[in-house]
A and B are shown apart, each in its own frame.
Chain A
Amino acid sequence: QQPVQSPQAVILREGEDAVINCSSSKALYSVHWYRQKHGEAPVFLMILLKGGEQKGHEKISASFNEKKQQSSLYLTASQLSYSGTYFCGTEILNYGGSQGNLIFGKGTKLSVKP
């Protein structure tokens, strides 16, 4: 039930772009994206809801393909502050709504170098 994230790790130079993917074997109600810095709690970035409504974060965007049960997070013109581990979280679709839980992938470690 845990969504699969790829890649596991990415190393970028400042200004480069990155894409992180998340796929689920279950039909999804929503996909969340979070970033965690070392030693800190995860922090919300974005949520993508079934039906297309999206809430977001400036300079970071995401897509949600409901049919393929996949989401991708796009980080453009990366900054040093983008470094951290990115997690996707999924809510399983249940009778048209959310099952009520939030299951996370194993994470993608992003390192941005000067």
Chain B
Amino acid sequence: NAGVTQTPKFQVLKTGQSMTLQCAQDMNHNSMYWYRQDPGMGLRLIYYSASEGTTDKGEVPNGYNVSRLNKREFSLRLESAAPSQTSVYFCASSRQGMTEAFFGQGTRLTVV
């Protein structure tokens, strides 16, 4: 009963390095989301995918790219990491847009 699985849980990057955050769900959900959480800012939507094969920008997409590899997987890529991208990243999924979202346990990313 895994739900939403994110990898890695922790990561330290140097400025300019690239990396991909992985997210997979086993609930056959259509919609998937990537958020970042910073103190006092709440959860801010980076990108979302309403169905397999589609992706759309959220509130803060600059500096990120995403891939909806298949129905299960939705990855987030940082091409050239910056200290401003230090944050906790959450992946979430839902059956459709109007049903509850399930969150992964988060990835704590530090860019030095």
Interface of A is mostly: strand
Q: Which of A68-114 contact B (CB under 8 A)?
A: 87, 89, 91, 97-107
Separation of A91 and B48 alpha carbons in the complex (Å): 12
> Which of chain B's residues have a CB closer than 8 A to the CB of A89?
43, 101
Nearest neighbor of B54 in chain A, beta-carbon distance: A100
> Which of chain A's residues have a CB closer than 8 A to the CB of B100?
32, 44, 47, 55
> Which of chain B's residues have a CB closer than 8 A to the CB of A98?
96-98
Q: Is the CB of B104 within 8 A of A42?
A: no
B90 within 8 Å of A (CB atoms): yes
B interface, size bucket: 20 to 34
Residue of B56, B90, B103 with most chain A CB atoms under a 10 A cut-off: B103
> Which of chain A's residues have a CB closer than 8 A to the CB of B94?
102
Q: Is the CB of B99 within 8 A of A47?
A: yes
> Which of chain A's residues have a CB closer than 8 A to the CB of B104?
41
Separation of A30 and B101 alpha carbons in the complex (Å): 13
Q: Mark interface residues in A24-68 (1 if CB within 8 Å of B CB, else 0).
A: 000001101010000011111001010000010000000000000
A6 within 8 Å of B (CB atoms): no
How many pairs of residues, A versus B, come closer than 8 Å at their CB atoms?
A: 73
Q: Mark interface residues in B59-98 (1 if CB within 8 Å of A CB, else 0).
A: 1000000000000000000000000000000101010111
> Which of chain B's residues have a CB closer than 8 A to the CB of A1?
59
Separation of A103 and B48 alpha carbons in the complex (Å): 11
Q: Is the CB of A100 within 8 A of B56?
A: yes
Separation of A104 and B34 alpha carbons in the complex (Å): 12
Q: B-side interface residues toward A, CB under 8 Å?
A: 31, 33, 35, 40-45, 48, 50, 56, 58-59, 90, 92, 94, 96-106
Q: A-side interface residues toward B, CB under 8 Å?
A: 1-2, 29-30, 32, 34, 40-44, 47, 49, 55, 87, 89, 91, 97-107
